[in-house]
Amino acid sequence: MVDRNEAVLAALGPTRALAASPTPMAVLDDAGRLVWVNQAFEQLLGWDAIELVARPLRGRVRRQDAARYDELCSPQRRDGSAELALVHRAGHLTWVVLNASGVRNDDGARVGTLCTAHDVTDRRDAESALVAAEGQFRDAFDSAPIGMALVAPNGIILKVNRALTAILRQTDSQLLARDFTELIDPSELEVDRSAARQLRSGGVRSYRDEVRLLAGDGELVWTMLSASLVRDAIGAPVHYVFQVEDITERKLADQRLAEVLSELERSNRDLENFAHIAAHDLKSPIQTVQGFVRTVLSRADDRLDDLERQLLNRALSGTLRMDELIDDVLAYASLQQQDDPLAPVVLDDVLVVVLDGLAGTIEAARATVDVEPLPTVLGDAGQLRQLFHNLLSNALKFTRPGVAPIVRIGAEQRGSTWVLRVDDNGIGIPEDQRAGVFEVFQRLHTRGEYEGTGLGLAICARVVERHGGTITIGEASGGGASFRFPLPAAPAQRPAAVTGS
């Protein structure tokens, strides 16, 4: 403690209690000079008492607050208080509420001023942060790329941003103070009210739905409306926050896409029906031609020269290829139309039927077909028979000269899926040509090299797609082709109950 004015300190009375007070205190003489501070005041500003009284307290007041300090601490000032900032020794501002009261001697004359300071820096910082946050919110709200609105619990619009006025083609004045429900398409109003009730009750924290809103020109605008409810400290509703995204273009695009898909579906049905009708109408005359050619060959064989016999055999071969092509086209078209539910299929039983049908071809080619135990899958039995028939037929057809065909069939389970494999030791398929072999009428070889219609693998691909997967080709050991395709595993079946007599 440093005494600069004995009269002031004497009028103040005992200072020991004041020195120990947790409230920062300072004493000014009648000229406004600092003559005494307690320890709490030293801690408030980071200076010790000697350093503080070495210069006027006014010198430690923020420049903008100097006039307020002068008014508060002048000798003519009555008792009062003011909020101002003092400069801390570290250079930052310390905000205080400074209370000033006169110090009087025994004669009642004012001989100085007692100042007490209450640190309000935390409150001021919080207020500044709140103001900054509010400013950031206003900026974000006003400049948001999607429409936004603050709506009172009773539905009255409190605030809108520029994006919303653009979406609804209305001005602020046209939207503010209106009931937001007036903007909602009446046919969707009850759904919106139900969602709002759930928000208020706490059943949901937010909701999001497609809603049509009425624009200023009377047109309905498709929007994605998101809503949440802001509550106060005790949980009472303050206002709704609505976010509005214009999805009109997307809805129109969806509508156009639906129309195109509907037209495409109708066109596909017409094409499928045409394929079936044309194929059935073609088979009859082709079979008639086959019958005539066979009759001529059988009845006039000894009267035909070599050229005539060769031409008739070519004609018969052509009708047979046409008949095979029509059957494959019908098979491919039927896959477009079939939409029967899948059922458990025992693949071992499927292979028994397929191998029985190809028994003559297998024997003639001296082929070996190794089949591992196969699983039960969820599928279409007829289509799966066709799939394995085509793959085995290819393996028996596209062979290496002088090499007996070997085909290996197996399966591997991966979660809820079985991956089937069909490997052969044939000529294989070059890697750069594998993607195209599943296209309709794609052939890698001429008919002179290998017979076929170019539809076999296209049918295989369509069958696997029908079962939710994609067939792929790799290289088997030895250079042949390796086909892989997934099939869904059949759900586990409960064993049948055993009854006894």
Q: How far is CA 311 from CA 293, 294, 383, in A?
A: 10, 12, 37
Residue 165 one-letter amino acid: T
* pLDDT tens-place string over residues 250-297: 888 888 888 888 887 776 666 666 666 656 656 567 667 667 667 777
d(Cα 66, Cα 72) in Å, to the nearest integer?
A: 10
Rg (the chain; Cα; Å): 47
Q: How far is CA 412 from the centre of its chain?
A: 33
Question: pLDDT tier at 495 (50, 70, 90 boundaries)?
Answer: very low
Question: Are residues 297 and 312 in contact, defined by beta-carbon separation less than 8 angstroms?
Answer: yes
Average pLDDT over residues 180-196: 83
Average pLDDT over residues 386-411: 86
Span between the terminal Cα atoms of the chain, in Å: 113
For residue 387, give both structure tokens: 């799939």
DSSP track, 263-290: HHHHHHHHHHHHHHHHHHHHHHHHHHHH
pLDDT of residue 287: 67
d(Cα 231, Cα 69) in Å, to the nearest integer?
A: 41
449 has a pLDDT exceeding 50: no
* pLDDT tens-place string over residues 40-99: 898 998 888 888 887 888 888 899 988 888 888 776 666 788 899 999 998 899 999 989
Residue (of 419, 366, 369, 363) closest to 391 by Cα position: 369
Looking at per-residue confidence, does 108 or 72 come out higher? Answer: 72
The mean of the pLDDT values for the chain is 79
Question: Are residues 335 and 459 in contact, defined by beta-carbon separation less than 8 angstroms?
Answer: yes
pLDDT of residue 5: 56
Average pLDDT over residues 154-174: 89
SS3 (DSSP) at 140: helix
Task: Say what percent of the chain tops pLDDT 90.
Answer: 7
For residue 223, give both structure tokens: 């929007």
d(Cα 114, Cα 24) in Å, to the nearest integer?
A: 11
Strand partners, 116: 25, 99
Q: Mean pLDDT lowest for which of 206-210, 301-305, 381-385?
A: 301-305
3-state DSSP percent of the chain in helix, strand and coil, to 5? 45, 25, 30
pLDDT of residue 113: 83
- Enumerate the H helices of 300-380 as residue ranges: 306-337, 347-357, 359-364
Residue (of 489, 465, 497) closest to 344 by Cα position: 489
d(Cα 106, Cα 114) in Å, to the nearest integer?
A: 16
Q: What are phi and psi for residue 93, nearest 5 degrees?
A: -90, 140
Q: Mean pLDDT lowest for which of 17-26, 88-97, 240-249?
A: 17-26
* pLDDT tens-place string over residues 349-369: 989 988 888 888 888 888 888
Question: pLDDT tier at 447 (50, 70, 90 boundaries)?
Answer: very low
Residues in the chain: 501
d(Cα 450, Cα 444) in Å, to the nearest integer?
A: 9
